[in-house]
Structure 1
Amino acid sequence: MSDKTILIAGTYDTKDDELTYLAGVIAAQGGGVLSMDVSVLGDPSRPTDVSKHAVAEAGGSSIQAAIDSGDENGAMQIMARGAAAKALELYLAGRIHGVIVLGGTMGTDLALDLCAALPLGVPKYIVSTVSFSPLLPPERIPADVQMILWAGGLYGLNSICKASLSQAAGAVLGAARAVEAPHRDRPLIGMTSFGKTVLRYMVSLKPALEARGYEVAVFHATGMGGRAFESLAAEGAFAAVFDFAPQEVANHLYGGLSAGADRMTNAGRRGIPQLVAPGCYDLVDYIGWQAPPPALADRPSHAHNRLLTSAVLEADERRAVARAICAKLAGASGPVALMLPTGGCNEWDRPDAPLHDAEGLAAFCDEIRSACPANADLVTLDAHINDAAFSERALAIFDDWVARGLVAKGA
Structure 2
Amino acid sequence: MSADKTILIAGTYDTKDDELSYLADCIRGQGGGVLTMDVSVLGDPKAPTDVSKHDVAQVGGSSIEAAIDSGDENVAMQIMAKGAAAMAAQLHSEGKIDGAIVLGGTMGTDLALDLCSALPLGVPKFVVSTVSFSAMLPPERLAADIQMILWAGGLYGLNSVCKSSLSQAAGAVLGAARAVEPPKRDRPLIGMTSFGKTILHYMVKLKPALEQRGYEVAVFHATGMGGRAFESLAEQGAFACVMDFATQEVGNHMMGSGISAGADRMTNAGLKGIPQMVAPACYDLVDLIGWQPLPDRLQGREAHAHNRLLTSVLLSTEERREVARLMADKLSTATGPTTFLLPNQGGNEWDRPGAPLHDAEGLAAFCSEMRAACPANVTLEDLDCHINDDAFSEQVLAIFDQWVAEGIVPEGVS
TM-score with structure 2 setting the length: 0.98
Paired residue for 2:8? 7
Residue 60 of structure 1 and its aligned partner are, at CA, apart by 2.3
Deviation at 1:57? 1.6
> How far 1:87 sits from its partner (Å)?
0.6
Pairwise CA distance, 1:177: 0.5
Cα gap change, 1:295 to 1:74, in 2 (>3 Å): farther
Give the CA deviation at 1:139: 2.2
Residue 115 of structure 2 aligns to a residue whose secondary structure is: helix
**Which residue of structure 2 aligns with residue 299 of structure 1?**
301
- What residue is the counterpart of 2:250 in the other structure? 249
Distance 1:402 1:267 in 2: 18
- Deviation for aligned residue 1:298: 2.6
Q: Distance in 2 between matches of 1:274 and 1:141?
A: 23
Correspondence 1:371 to 2:373: yes
Q: CA deviation at 1:300?
A: 1.2
Match for residue 276 of structure 2? 274
Tell me how far 1:367 sits from its aligned partner: 0.6
Once the two structures are superposed, the pairs formed by residues 11-410 of structure 1 within 5 Å of their partners are 11-256=12-257, 257-410=259-412
Give the secondary-structure state (helix, strand or coil) at the position aligned to 2:339: strand
Question: Quick one: which amino acid aligns to residue 166 of structure 1?
Answer: S
1:135 CA displacement? 2.1
Report the Cα distance in structure 2 between the residues aligned to 1:73 and 1:394, rounded to whole angstroms.
Answer: 47
**Alpha-carbon offset, residue 114 of structure 1:** 0.9
- Deviation, structure 1 residue 169: 0.5
Shifted more, 145-154 versus 6-15: the winner is: 145-154
Unaligned runs of 5+ in 2: none
Q: How many angstroms does 1:73 deviate by?
A: 1.2
1:37: how far off? 0.2
Greater alpha carbon shift after TM alignment, 360-369 vs 138-147: 138-147
Question: Per-residue deviation at 1:141?
Answer: 2.1
Q: Deviations over 1:200-224 (max 9, x none)?
A: 1000000000000000000000110
Label 1:293 to 1:90 Cα distance change in 2 as closer, same or farther (>3 A): farther
Tell me how far 1:137 sits from its aligned partner: 2.4
Letter in 1 for 2:326: A
Amino acid corresponding to residue 390 of structure 1 in structure 2: F
CA distance in 1, matches of 2:31, 2:359: 61
Matched residues, percent identical? 75
Q: CA deviation at 1:121?
A: 1.0
State the alpha-carbon separation in 2 of the partners of residues 231 and 147 from structure 1: 17
Distance 1:259 1:22 in 2: 32
What displacement does 1:297 show?
A: 2.9
CA distance in 2, matches of 1:292, 1:102: 36
3-state secondary structure, aligned to 2:50: coil
Which ranges of structure 1 fall in alignment gaps of 5 or more residues? none
Cα–Cα, structure 1 residues 294 and 106, in superposed 2: closer, same or farther, change >3 Å?
Answer: farther
Report the 3-state secondary structure (helix = DSSP H, G, I; strand = E; otherwise coil) of the residue aligned with 1:345: coil
Give me the whole-angstrom Cα distance separating, in 2, the residues matched to 1:121 and 1:161.
27
Change (3 A) 1:124 1:294: farther
3-state SS, counterpart of residue 291 of structure 2: coil
Opposite residue 199 of structure 1, the aligned amino acid is: L
- Distance in 1 (CA, whole Å) between partners of 2:232 and 2:135 is 21
3-state DSSP of counterpart to 1:218? strand
TM-score scaled to structure 1, two decimals? 0.98
Say if 1:38 and 1:51, in contact at 8 Å, map to a contact too.
yes
Asked if the contact 1:255/1:293 (under 8 Å) is kept, the reply is no
AA in 2 matched with 1:105: T
- Does the 8 A contact of 2:324 with 2:369 survive in 1? yes
The 3-state SS of whatever aligns with 1:15 is helix
Distance 2:12 2:104 in 1: 8
- What is the CA–CA distance in structure 1 between the aligned matches of 2:149 and 2:380, rounded to whole Å? 46
Q: Which amino acid aligns with 2:307?
A: N
Q: Deviations over 1:97-142 (max 9, x none)?
A: 1001001111111111111111111101111111122222222222
Give the aligned residue type for 2:324: A
Q: Tell whether the 8 Å contact from 1:243 to 1:276 is kept in structure 2 after alignment.
A: yes
SS of equivalent residue, structure 2 residue 14: coil
* Separation of aligned partners in 1, 2:87 and 2:392: 47
Matched residue of 2:65: which SS?
helix
CA distance in structure 2 between the partners assigned to 1:206 and 1:224 by the alignment: 21
What is the distance in 1 between the residues matched to 2:264 and 2:132?
Answer: 24
Say if 2:274 and 2:336, in contact at 8 Å, map to a contact too: yes
Q: RMSD of the alignment, in Å?
A: 0.9
What is the Cα deviation at residue 292 of structure 1?
Answer: 2.3
Is 124-133 or 304-313 further displaced after alignment? Answer: 124-133
The separation in 2 between residues aligned to 1:110 and 1:167, in whole angstroms, is 22
Q: Is the 8 A contact 2:342 2:381 kept in 1?
A: yes
Structure 1 contact 254–295 (Cα < 8 Å) conserved: no
Distance 2:51 2:199 in 1: 50
> What is the deviation of 1:294?
4.1
Q: What are the superposed Cα offsets for residues 75-110 of structure 1, whole Å, 9 maximum, x if unpaired?
A: 111111111111111111111010010011111111
Q: Distance in 1 between matches of 2:368 and 2:163?
A: 60
Deviation of the 1:36 alpha carbon: 0.3
Amino acid at match of 2:214: G
Q: Name the CA distance, whole Å, in 2 between partners of 1:156 and 1:207.
A: 53
